[in-house]
Amino acid sequence: MDVKNEGVFDELVVDHWLHIEQFGEREWWMRVGDARILVLVQSSGDVRVDVERGFYAPNLGTTTDE
């Protein structure tokens, strides 16, 4: 596949396990496997990332907060 930098896309879907979508200028939603991930960039530049495991399927593997 050859992709040229000719613009911007706001959604990427790969099978049922990866889905990334831009909701607004500073907000993204992602599905990666069994996890739902929300990313918000504040106007100050700070980034908030919320991860919820097991949202789409049972948890696979382990999760740590280290």
Q: Which residues contact 19 (CB under 8 A, 6 or more apart)?
A: 11, 12, 13, 30, 31
| Rounded Cα gap, residues 10 and 41, in angstroms | 16
Residue 61 lies in a domain: no
| Rounded Cα gap, residues 29 and 51, in angstroms | 10
Q: What is the pLDDT of residue 35?
A: 86
Residue 65 lies in a domain: no
Residue 66 lies in a domain: no
- The structural domain count of the chain equals 1
Residue 9 pLDDT greater than 70, yes or no: yes
| Rounded Cα gap, residues 31 and 51, in angstroms | 10
Token code pair at residue 46: 């700070």
What pLDDT digit, counting tens, does each position of 11-58 carry?
999 998 899 999 999 999 999 888 899 999 999 999 999 998 887 777
Range of the domain at 45: 20-53
| Residue found by looking up tokens 């696979």 in the block | 60
Residue 10 lies in a domain: no
